Amino acid sequence: MAIDGGLASLSESLWTAATGTYMLAVVAYTGEYAFGKNGRIAQTSAVQAGAVQAGAVRTDAAVIGAAAIGAAAIGAGKPSAARQPALVGGTEPASRLSEPPDQPGHGTGSVEPDGRGGRRWGRAAVGLTLLAAAFHLACVAIRGIAVDRVPWGNMYEFTLVVGLMATVAWLATLVKMPQLRYLGLFVMMPVLLVMFLAGTLYTKASKLVPALQSYWLAIHVSAVAVAEGILLTSAAITMMYLARARFERIAATGKAPARFAGLGSRLPAAAALDKAAYRTVAFAFPIYTAGVIFGAIWAEAAWGRYWGWDPKETWAFIAWVVYATYLHARATAGWKGNRAAYINLLGFGAMTFNFFVVNIVISGLHSYAGLS
Amino acid sequence: MSSPRGTGHRSVRLPVPPTARQLWRRLVSMRTALVLLFLLALASVPGSLLPQRPLNPPKVQQYLATHGAWGRFLDRIGAYDVFGSIWFSAVYLLLFASLIGCLIPRITVYARALRARPLKAPRNLDRLAENTALSTGLDPDQAAARISRALRPRWRTVVRTEESGAVAVSAEKGYSREAGNLLFHVSLLVALVLIAAGRLLSYEGSIVATEGSGFCNRPISYDSFTAGRWVKSGGLADFCVDRLEKFTATYREDGTPAQFKADVSYSEDLAGPPRHAVIEVNHPLRLEGDRVYLLNHGFSPTVTITRPGRTPVTDTQAFLPQDEVLTSEGAFKLPGRDGTKDDDLGLSAVFAPTPVISGGVVTSISPQATNPVLAVLAYTGELNPGGQPQSVYSLDQKQIASGKLKQVGARNLAIGQSMTLPDGTVIRFDGYRQWANLQVSHDPTQARLLLAAILMVAGLLGSLAVRRRRLWVRVAPPDASARSVVWVGGLARNDGGNFSTEFQAIVAELAAVLGAGPQPDTVAAAPAAASTAAEKIGAGKD
Ligand code: HEM
């Protein structure tokens, strides 16, 4: 079957639609971040009211976030989300979770100290994310139909798939922990960057060269893309963890947290972020391991050896070992916390290096990027 | 392990070098494993950034030539063969030792833990991170029996009667987490052994075969052959690829390749009849223990050289592709009469499958052969004075530079055309065939290694997905109103999952089997007692 030019250009229009919608979603997340209960303005007024006590570790920020999301949980029809226990602590009195739900039709979108404006922004942001994800999925799927093969045969396509995985991971996180919605800015911003990046890596719709004509392409690359999408989320959470841990350290000394009140005070408790970062790695690591093993099986069929220390393989190994180090660090006294967090970021760095630098700069057997 | 520590010198307060036992302890500690893993990652980095001999020797030469003393220094420390270097092996072996040292005690501890009964209930269940209280109308023994029965499908439980008359159920689950972890590490250990064994037992031969020719599985048949130390040179499997019958490259309209395939006839043992097979990229021919791969392809032009007064010679030579559109370079070498020194004839040629000629230079614009051209430079003189092995793809540039090989003619030939040299020699471009680069690989450890890899992933899944939990339920003796207070406390022994939600689900289930309602007074009291977070037992991982 030849390439379907009409579908290919439809897929390209969908890329534009998805990217534009992600942009709007980022604007909306920014709106929620700025005007929401945990938002900058609410925080500032809270600081002015003297509500933030120096030294207090404000785990309740997230609890309020959980309440704020209330009935506004994604997909609208999930009232049970209101009763979802808070991610943080879990020891707070239950009454704090039972804030009255949003009243439709109320409010003018103005900035209100209780963050109702933020809630509207947040709902819009999730709606836009869902729409963008739908465009994104259609973009990838139609590209696949247009070229009559799996839609991850070159770097442009692979980047799109990793971006889609990150969005899906974020939406899944929202289903489980809607109270994290106000942090959407920090996840959607990287996804938007990934979309732009895909744009710069754009490759015309084409069939696969014989070396890539293998069902292992579907298995190996999808496993790696899923793992990388999740690990991207983990890296984002880890950065939030580092910001928050720093805030908590300073808060614990009793000094005025003025300089760090900005980001740190609005994030969930460091312990919760640390746990979330660990869980995402624990979820992604076996998938990544399997992905690398699938790659080795494919290499055996294509090149006559399962492992040859090709640059791509070498960096996959490095990233894998660094994430294994992270899992160890999380179980080693003296290495938990910040040190483990840096190892997590290092693993992400190695993975990203493998994707960009190794594909574009270093040549090897894996030079399938489609860039010339 | 015995320690060589003497007894008499203990009082001397000098910095004592660590004993062997202490060194071993340090080696098998989690912290050392961490550092070694990190070093392993770090040590691999130069392997991808510097040219590597096993992958690309000419690139190493080039790097050495352009980097002077620094390049030579890197060579001395083995940086051009990182994965065969002493320091990489050292990290690898230390990690290996650390892994063994760490696994043996862990396996014994785990075996003991499997037989052990769940721990006694702590005195104050309300100091656990998760706790609640219910009340039931059942008497403690009945209640404990029901709880135990409800939990038993997934939990290991023990019922104990306490001095106070209360009955406590201790439950524990998630044993397979440690089993998964041990399975992962043991499989990893096995995988490392198999990889090392594979390097010793494997061999690889590569040959450029032109259509019509074949080869047998002998070290000398190959253009290049590498073998591990334990491979006996007579011990290769007996098979022959008798002939490369036909190589086919198919291209799409836009010129991109669609399919490469090599039709071969082969015989698995010397007595058997030849069989037919198609080898494609990603689809090797799998024989007993050996695999034959199609790695590359190109053109082999054929010329007929007629020197005056001698029998015509027809020769077909494989040419090396220089670019993606298969502009290929190669050479034909025709020795002169015996005893002469300057009678050799050499052709250095470029083959262009779809040629464009600009400024006299021939290049190709497509890998598909349409009106191919052979651009020939003819030389006479001495091809190989030393008789040393030479590249079959080119003439010796030194001979040309020193004037011992003189150019005597140059022409671009289409198929069927010929050129005549000043001495009357006629060179005719007859046509071309295709060649395929076939590689034979043998690694007897592969299948077992795959099994080890599968077990590794299985172990990881068990280890990272299984949740280790402890649960205690204490049923106090009934009070005046004939109701018993049921305290429930839980502990998450690792970070996976959301234990709060799990705990609530368990409590709901227990409440159902006990026909219990919440215990109003105690519910109010318990959180108050437990609200100082710092005091909680095992809020995180133990
Ligand atoms: C060859 C190098 C090693 C690799 C690639 C490796 C990899 C891993 C990975 C991926 C995990 C997390 C998954 C799991 O819990 O099963 C892990 C956990 C663990 N490893 Fe290793 N390991 C290595 C060597 C060692 C050594 C030498 C030790 C002993 C000191 C060790 C002790 C542990 C322990 C105790 C855990 C459990 C941590 C926890 O409770 O989360 N490992 N290892």
Instruction: Please write the tens of the pLDDT for every residue from A321-371.
Output: 999 999 999 988 888 889 999 999 999 999 989 887 777 666 655 554 444
User: A328 CB less than 6 Å from ligand 1?
Assistant: yes
Q: Which atom of ligand 1 is nearest to the CA of B459?
A: 16
ipTM summary value? 0.84
Contact A63, A86 (CB under 8 A): yes
Q: What percent of chain A has pLDDT over 70?
A: 71
* pLDDT band (50, 70, 90) for residue A144: confident
Residue B109 has pLDDT above 70, yes or no: yes
Nearest CA to ligand 1 atom 33: A328
Between B135 and A67, residue with greater pLDDT = B135
- What residue in B sits closest to A273 (Cα-Cα)? B495
The whole-angstrom distance between residue A278's C-alpha and the CA centroid of its chain comes to 14
Alpha-carbon distance of B54 to B233, in angstroms, equals 21
Q: Are strands B361-364 and B373-381 parallel, antiparallel or unpaired?
A: unpaired
DSSP B181: H
Pairs of CB atoms within 8 A across A/B: 136
Mean pLDDT highest for which of A7-11, B392-396, B516-520, B537-541? Answer: B392-396
Q: Mean pLDDT in chain B? A: 87
Token pair recorded at residue B283: 């689809």
Q: Is A204 on the interface with B (CB under 8 A)?
A: no
Task: Please report the sign of the dihedral spanned by the C-alpha atoms of residue B319, residue B321, residue B326, residue B327.
Answer: negative
Alpha-carbon distance of B138 to B54, in angstroms, equals 75
Ligand 1 center from residue A244 Cα (angstroms)? 28
| Tokens 């779809």 -> residue | B354
User: B102 CB less than 6 Å from ligand 1?
Assistant: yes
Mean pLDDT highest for which of A179-193, A294-308, B259-273? Answer: A294-308
pLDDT tens, residue by residue, B401-421: 998 999 999 999 999 999 999
Burial B173-208 (b: 16+ CB within 10 A, else e): bbeebbbbbbbbbbbbbbbbebbbbbeebbbbbbbb
Between B175 and B9, residue with greater pLDDT = B175
Distance from CA of A329 to the nearest CA of B (A): 7
Across residues B375-393, what is the average pLDDT? 89
Residue A97 has pLDDT above 80, yes or no: no
- What residue in B sits closest to A285 (Cα-Cα)? B460
Q: Give pLDDT, residue A297.
A: 94
Distance from CA of A108 to the nearest CA of B (A): 37
Q: Which residues of B touch A90 (CB under 8 A)?
A: 500
User: B186 CB less than 6 Å from ligand 1?
Assistant: no
User: A333 CB less than 6 Å from ligand 1?
Assistant: no
pLDDT tens, residue by residue, A175-226: 877 877 888 888 888 888 888 888 877 777 777 777 777 888 888 988 998 8
Ligand 1 center from residue A328 Cα (angstroms)? 6
Distance from CA of B528 to the nearest CA of A (A): 10
Nearest CA to ligand 1 atom 30: B30
CB contact under 8 A, B457 and A290: yes
- Candidates A128, A124, A127, A121; CA nearest to A19 is A128
DSSP characters for B94-109? Answer: HHHHHHHHHHHHHHHH
Q: Give pLDDT, residue A295.
A: 94
The neighbouring-strand residues paired with B328 are: B321, B351
Q: Give pLDDT, residue B256.
A: 80
Q: Is A293 on the interface with B (CB under 8 A)?
A: yes
Mean pLDDT highest for which of A141-145, B326-330, B512-516? Answer: B326-330
Alpha-carbon distance of A250 to A271, in angstroms, equals 15
Q: If DSSP codes are grouped into helix, strand and coil, which group holds residue B491?
A: strand
Q: Give a three-class secondary structure readout of chain A.
A: CCCCHHHHHHHHHHHHHHHHHHHHHHHHHHHHHHHCCCCHHHHHHHHHCCCCCCCCCCCHHHHHHHHHHHHHCCCCCCHHHHHCCCCCCCCCCHHHHCCCCCCCCCCCCCCCCCCHHHHHHHHHHHHHHHHHHHHHHHHHHHHHHHHCCCCCCCHHHHHHHHHHHHHHHHHHHHHHCHHHHHHHHHHHHHHHHHHHHHHHCCCCCCCCCHHHCCHHHHHHHHHHHHHHHHHHHHHHHHHHHHHHHHHHHHHHCCCCCHHHHHHHCCCCCHHHHHHHHHHHHHHHHHHHHHHHHHHHHHHHHHHCCCCCCCHHHHHHHHHHHHHHHHHHHCCCCCCCCHHHHHHHHHHHHHHHHHHHHHHHCCCCCCCCCCCC
Name which of A295-304, B10-19, B318-327, B382-391 the model is least confident about: B10-19
Q: Which residues of B touch A289 (CB under 8 A)?
A: 456-457, 460
User: B98 CB less than 6 Å from ligand 1?
Assistant: yes
Residue B509 has pLDDT above 80, yes or no: yes
Alpha-carbon distance of A200 to A203, in angstroms, equals 9
DSSP B11: T
Q: What are the backbone dihedrals phi and psi of residue A233, each rounded to the nearest 5 degrees, phi first? A: -60, -40
Distance from CA of B426 to the nearest CA of A (A): 41
Please list, in sequence order, all residues whose beta carbon lies within 8 angstroms of the beta carbon of residue A50, skipping any fewer than 6 positions away. Answer: none
Residue B187 has pLDDT above 60, yes or no: yes
Q: Give pLDDT, residue A51.
A: 35
User: A204 CB less than 6 Å from ligand 1?
Assistant: no
* pLDDT band (50, 70, 90) for residue B517: low
Q: What is the C-alpha end-to-end distance of chain B, expressed in Å?
A: 30
Contact A135, A3 (CB under 8 A): no
Name which of B82-96, B140-154, B413-427, B503-517 the model is least confident about: B503-517
Nearest CA to ligand 1 atom 10: A324
Chain A contact probe: residue of B128, B201, B204, B282 with most A CBs at under 10 A: B282
CA distances from B318 to B350, B399, B437 (A): 11, 22, 10
- Candidates B312, B292, B175; CA nearest to B237 is B292
pLDDT tens, residue by residue, A103-128: 333 333 333 344 566 778 888 899 99
- What residue in A sits closest to B206 (Cα-Cα)? A304
Nearest CA to ligand 1 atom 29: B102
User: A279 CB less than 6 Å from ligand 1?
Assistant: no
Residue A298 has pLDDT above 60, yes or no: yes
Ligand 1 pocket test, pick from A280, A287, A327 with the greatest ligand atom count within 8 Å of Cβ, gives A327
CB contact under 8 A, B533 and A325: no
Contact A61, A247 (CB under 8 A): no
- The pTM of the full predicted model, rounded to 2 decimals, is 0.79
Residue A71 has pLDDT above 70, yes or no: no
Q: Is A218 on the interface with B (CB under 8 A)?
A: no
Residue A264 has pLDDT above 80, yes or no: no
Q: Which residues of B touch A351 (CB under 8 A)?
A: none
* pLDDT band (50, 70, 90) for residue B13: low
